[in-house]
A and B are shown apart, each in its own frame.
Chain A
Amino acid sequence: MALKGFRRNFKPLEILTQEQLEAIHRGTLEVLWVTGVRMEHEGALTTLEKNGCKIDHEDFRAHFPPGLVEESLRNCPSTFHIKSRDPNSSLTMGGNTVYFLPFPGQHTIDLDTWEPRTATRKEFYDGVTVLDALPYVHGMWSYTPYFGFEGVPPAMALLESMAGKIRRTTKFLTEGYSKGSEQFTMQMAQAVDTEMSVPCLLSPPLTYYHDAIEAALRGIEAGFPIRVSEGAVYGGTAPVTIAGALVSATANLIAPIVLLQLVKPGARIFVNDFTFPQNMKTGSPGFGDIGISLHAAAFNQIWRRYGVPTCNGAAIPASKRIDFQGGYERAMSTLLFALSGANFILLHGGISSELTHHPVQAILDDDIAGMVGRFLEGITVNDETLAIDLIEEVGPIPGHFLNKPHTRKWWKLEQFIPKAADRLTYPEWMNTGKKGCLDYARDRMEHILATHKPTPLTSSQEQDIERILEEARSYYKERGLIPDDEMATYRNSMKSSNYPYE
């Protein structure tokens, strides 16, 4: 039993010809062998060397022979199950199914001034509650909804964030890592009998630092699925051309896949495209750029050939407000990711760059997810939907379809009705206070917060989570990563009678 997600019932969009795809594959194999990848991890290099890679230990550089690369890709399962706390929220990753996940933001946002500010503990937990309630949020992502909240020292942000999600949702979890946090996140997952995906994050171009490899090796040892993530900026850390960025992204992602398949053949891996063109005017990543979608569409096609499930993470607007620009930027990238065959799409709640998130935005994005999902379902064609006999029965004017049982039965099956969209006529809209989608989304947020009850942890699970958090606090404090005054603020923030929720 797994969460259904949205199934695409027609051929995926293919932006590359077969010949273009071959050229990118060939280029990737050339880079992996000739240029190689720097992996600052002696254990990894030794394993790779033993299996036929050419290693330059001084430079931490591994050169991958094409035969080994292709064999490792074949060893990756094309579809796999991932267990959640609630078995009904488990996922089956891969194939032509799309799942939507939230998009992280460092801060929350003021809905009147659009200025960002740090979320409170209550806002963090409420944010998770809203994501738990939305039907098209199929799992959680690291750092979602926010990177942390008021009073939490930076070293603990990731773990407090994970605890918030474990406490407030039964949906699938994917986590990041920072300063060895994966030791604690994995314990937390085990404590509530859930799996989570552990990341292996690249530092482009062609470099993996020790902690990235270490986290992936720990994850794979614990039997968790691994997310290998590419975060290049084309023009900065990758070639500025999309074709060149694809070659470097593919080479980057394959390197740890080879290592992980050597350590544990058949290991569950998915690849994440989180790449952006460089905005040449500001020097920052080109959020909202159509180049993101071009890259992702080709990325999904390439990895479908390899049979490795994909995640597309870069559908994040540049607009600082929830406005027209944010709407078209998000819609285009989300639809293109879905049509070209992404399995995970980060969508809900992110407002601008990776810097802001808001539950109201997540509610608006749930409608985008529903609409894209409706499109993916495709068109049901059979005698009943073709309705030839009905068309004959109704005939030309004055015939009509309004009063037919066929209409009463099928309109609900065929139409997707967004929950926070304005679909009134002008007179109705004028007479009901000229409400727009933002007003409807605010109403829905209040309704969810008033009525939605996430499945709570058992009291022993809650004790485990608090114990693991406490261990982590001591661990980071001992290592000097939480100074005394940060710790005092942190402890003070835990004194509410509603702790941990407020």
Chain B
Amino acid sequence: MALKGFPRNFKPLEILTQEQLDAIHRGTLEVLWVTGVRMEHKRALQLLEKNGCRVDYQNGRAYFPPGLVEDCLRRAPSSFPARARDPGNTLMLGGDTLYFAPAPGQMTVDLDTWEPRTATRKEYYDGVKVLDALSTLHFFTTYTPYFGFQGVPPCMGMLESLAARVRNSSKFVVAGHSNNSEIFAISMAQALGIEVIGTCTAAPPLTFYQDAIDSAFRLAEAGMPVRVVGAPVMGGSAPATVAGSMVSNLAEVMAALVLVQLIRPGARVLVLDFAMPMNMKTGAPAFGSMEVCMHIAAFNQIFRKYGVPTYNADGYPGSKMPDYQSGYEKAFRALTTGLSGGSARPLHGGVYGELSHHPVQAILDDDIAGMVGRFLQGITVNDETLAIDLIEEVGPIPGHFLNKPHTRKWWKLEQFTPKAADRLTYPEWMNTGKKGCLDYARDRMEHILAIHKPTPLTPGQEEDVERILEEARNYYQERGLITDDEMLTYRNGMKSPNYPYE
């Protein structure tokens, strides 16, 4: 039994005409064949060459024939399960179902000054616990809630983060790659009897470095699903136009998809859209911009044609605090993904860019997710909901519907009630301390932390996780990626009687 997610019960939004879609498809095939993609990985180039690609070993460039590309797109499954620790949390990605994940933040924020700072180990584990408790949060993606926590050396950030998620949540987890961390992520998953979706990330324009391709090989060979990612900035590492950035981004994502299908035909692939315009004033990605939503809508439409599930990665506002701007920026993103048929997207908890995250924000976003989910459900139309007989019975004024059994039965079925929203009248609001959504969200966070109990690992599983972490620590120390004083601080951070939770 897979997690239900939010099914969409009406036709998806199509931002492209058929002709526009064909033009983008044609352009992508042209770029893949004429320009090609640079892959700094000899084994990959050899595999591609054997399957009909033209390969220039000196430049590390592979040129993909259209027939091979279309063949590999057909091989990728249109829907697939991804197994979680609790079978009830297993995902069934694809089709008309939307799942939500948290949006990562490098750091936590102070709720009074809105300034970012590194989270403590306890804040990290508490953050996972809150996300575990939120019903519209269906799985975890990489780097969530934070990129790491105090005392952890950078190269261990990803694995400590994965360990925390498997310890404090039984929801499905996605793993990234950094300095071969996927080796340990895969062994952790295997030890726990779960699957992880791993990642293969391009360096746009049209480049894959060795570590990304290594990750694709390791994941595909281990039978894990692979999330293929291009992360272009329009105007920097992709053309400044939405259409042009679609073409270059698709070429990147499809090159990786072809490779994965050649490594393991029929392999489960999730394609990720993470394209942002460049903020031409600051040079940084323009978090919060509307063009992102247009890119998402087109991306989902194109991969629906190909039959490959999509992940829309940029749930990230430009605002530094949960305010009006952040509210509209997040709502636009979540809604666009839902309407245009994305299979998954990060939403919960991201405060600014990918740079900050907070559980209070995640609780606010739980309401956005619920509202989007309610909308996607659509309108139930049958004799009982049409209520023709009831309308006849009630008639004009002084008739009304308040005292009808139909109202008592149906309002709960039809209405979604957010958990951290102010829905009082003015007099009630004035008399109860003028509380806003942030106050309600703080209350709910305290409530969750006080009562929520994530499903723990068995002692055997816990030993495996700690053993694999220890192997990784030694691996990185031997390779000089953890200095001695970093290791000392790290070890000191593990001395609490409540380790690993504090």
The residues of A with any CB-CB pair to B shorter than 8 Å are 10-11, 13-17, 20, 23-24, 27, 30-31, 34-35, 37-38, 61, 113-116, 203-207, 234-244, 246-248, 251, 277-282, 284, 286-291, 293-294, 298, 318-332, 335-336, 339, 352-353, 355, 364, 367-368, 371-372, 374-375, 378-382, 384-388, 390-392, 394-397, 399-402, 406-407, 410-411, 414-416, 418, 420-426, 428-430, 434, 436-438
Chosen A-B contacts, 16 in total, with CB atoms closer than 8 Å, are A24-B386, A37-B396, A206-B396, A239-B410, A240-B410, A277-B414, A282-B423, A289-B416, A290-B371, A325-B364, A385-B243, A387-B241, A391-B35, A411-B240, A411-B277, A416-B290
Interface residues as binary, B283-297 with A (CB distance below 8 Å gives 1, 0 otherwise)? 010111111011000
- Report yes or no: B407 in contact with A392, Cβ–Cβ below 8 A: no
**Chain B proximity of A173: nearest CB distance (Å):** 28
Choose from A243, A320, A390 the contact partner of B381 (Cβ within 8 Å): A243
Q: Which residues of chain A are near B429, meaning CB under 8 Å?
A: 320
Q: How far is the CB of B493 from chain A (nearest CB, A)?
A: 25
User: Is B244 a contact of A386 with CB atoms below 8 Å?
Assistant: yes
User: Which residue of chain A has the shortest Cβ distance to B30 in the bound complex?
Assistant: A388
Asked if B390 is at the interface (CB within 8 A of a chain A CB), the reply is yes
Q: Which residues of the other chain, A, contact B423 by a CB distance below 8 angstroms? A: 279, 281-282, 286-288, 318
Smallest distance from the beta carbon of B242 to chain A beta carbons, Å?
5
Q: Which residues on B sit within 8 Å (CB–CB) of A24?
A: 381, 386
Q: Check if B298 is an interface residue, CB within 8 A of chain A.
A: yes
Interface centre among A37, A418, A428 (most CB of B within 10 A): A418
Chain B CB within 10 Å, residue with most, of A13, A206, A236, A379:
A379
Whole-angstrom distance between the alpha carbons of A448 and B109 in the complex?
A: 34
Q: Are B205 and A394 in contact (CB under 8 A)?
A: yes
List the A side residues contacting B323 at CB < 8 Å.
322-324, 327, 436-438
- Residues of chain A within 8 A of B277, CB atoms compared: 411, 414-415
Decide: A294 and B379 in contact? CB cutoff 8 A.
Answer: yes
**CB–CB B237/A320 < 8 A:** no
Q: Which residues of B contact A424 (CB under 8 A)?
A: 282
Interface-facing stretch out of B304-312, B430-438, B446-454 = B430-438
Q: Considering only CB atoms and an 8 Å cut-off, how many residues of chain B contact the other chain?
A: 127
A-B CB proximity, top 8 nearest: A327-B327, A387-B244, A244-B387, A331-B328, A396-B38, A38-B396, A331-B331, A437-B325
Tell me the minimal C-beta distance from B264 to chain A in angstroms: 25
Also in contact, A392 and B35, with CB within 8 A (given A38-B397, A326-B327): yes
Q: Cβ of B407 and Cβ of A423 under 8 Å apart?
A: no
Q: A239-B407, A243-B387 are in contact. Are A327 and B242 (CB under 8 A)?
A: no
Instruction: Give every chain B residue within 8 A of A235 (Cβ-Cβ).
Output: 401-402, 407, 411
A282 touches B327 (CB 8 A): no
B352 close to chain A: CB less than 8 A: yes
Q: Contact check, B205 vs A399: say whether CB atoms are below 8 A apart.
A: yes
Q: For B415, what are the chain A residues with a Cβ–Cβ distance below 8 Å?
A: 277, 280, 286, 289, 291
Complexed CA–CA distance, A17 and B11 (Å): 8
B14, B293, B397 interface centre (most CB from chain A within 10 Å)? B397
- Other A-B contacts than A331-B332, A381-B20, 12 sampled, CB-CB below 8 A, are A27-B388, A239-B387, A282-B423, A288-B423, A290-B372, A291-B374, A319-B421, A319-B436, A323-B324, A328-B368, A381-B243, A415-B291
Tell yes or no: B443 within 8 A of A by CB: no
Residues of B within 8 A of A291 (CB): 374, 414-416
Q: How far is the CB of A104 from chain B (nearest CB, A)?
A: 16
Between B24, B37, B113, B388, the greatest number of chain A beta carbons within 10 A of the residue's beta carbon is seen for B388
Query: Which of B41-49, B313-321, B462-470, B473-481 interfaces with chain A?
Result: B313-321
Cβ contacts B389-416/A at 8 Å (1 or 0 each): 0111011110111100011001100111
Q: Which residues of A contact B31 (CB under 8 A)?
A: 388, 391-392
A282 near B331 (CB under 8 angstroms)? Answer: no
Which of B23, B241, B251, B396 is the one whose CB lies under 8 Å from A205?
B396
| Residues A205 and B391 in contact, CB atoms below 8 Å apart | yes
Asked if residues A243 and B426 are in contact (CB atoms below 8 Å), the reply is no
Q: Which residues of A contact B15 (CB under 8 A)?
A: 10, 375, 378-379
* Residue B428 interfacial (CB < 8 Å): yes
Given the interface contacts A386-B247, A391-B239, A410-B241, does A423 sit within 8 Å of B326 by beta carbon? no
CB < 8 Å: which of A115, A324, A374, A395 contacts B35? A395
Binary interface encoding of chain B residues 185-221 relative to chain A, with 1 for a CB under 8 A from any of its CBs, else 0? 0000000000000000001111100000000000000
Residue B138 CB within 8 A of the other chain: no
Name the CB-closest residue of A to B409. Answer: A240
A31 to B426, CA, bound (A): 37
| Option from A20, A320, A372, A402 in Cβ contact (under 8 Å) with B235 | A402
Query: Do A298 and B242 touch (CB < 8 A)?
Result: no
Shortest beta-carbon distance from A433 to chain B in Å: 12
Cβ-closest chain B residue relative to A295:
B379
